[in-house]
Structure 1
């Protein structure tokens, strides 16, 4: 049976290449983070501009929808009670 164990002393990585690779990976990560930040700022600004051009502000639209839901719930409750009576 052959000896399949390799001593770790024989493993020698090129530390210069490892250092350069780590530096390039770190720089790439910073560039990625900066690009992502720019993308998110652009999307947020576009969203704010888009909502700002709406005829009805979002808060007023939400209040209208809430009132509609309340009236629909009341109508359903009244119809259910009328049917049972």
Structure 2
């Protein structure tokens, strides 16, 4: 009975199994974290390669898209005003 501990209500815990389970869970957690780090590194590297391969920088693409959105918004507003005859 050296590996089992008995409490007053009869609940028995096998310490060797408990320690083994905790050890395996710890090892699994470390391996999972290492795997997640490798996945993040691979995705980061692929993203950097993809950005380098673009013909224009992401900031330039964002500025172009914003400018196009403003022009489209102004055109829609002008079309609405022409349809409804509003002076605003």
**Structure 1 residue matching 2:68: 3-state secondary structure:** helix
TM-score, with normalisation over the residues of structure 2? 0.81
- Partner residue, 1:29: 29
Match of 1:66 in 2: 66
Cα deviation digits, residues 26-80 of structure 1 (max 9, x gap):
1110110111011111101101111110001111011111000000000111111
Alignment RMSD, CA only?
A: 1.5
Q: Which runs of 5+ in 2 are unaligned?
A: 1-6
CA distance in 1, matches of 2:83, 2:73: 15
Q: Unpaired segments of 5 or more residues in structure 1?
A: 1-6
Number of paired residues? 79
Deviation above 4 Å: which 4+ runs of structure 1?
A: none
Residue number in structure 1 paired with 2:82? 82
> Structure 2: how far apart are the matches of 1:78 and 1:60?
27
Alpha-carbon distance, 1:10 to partner: 2.2
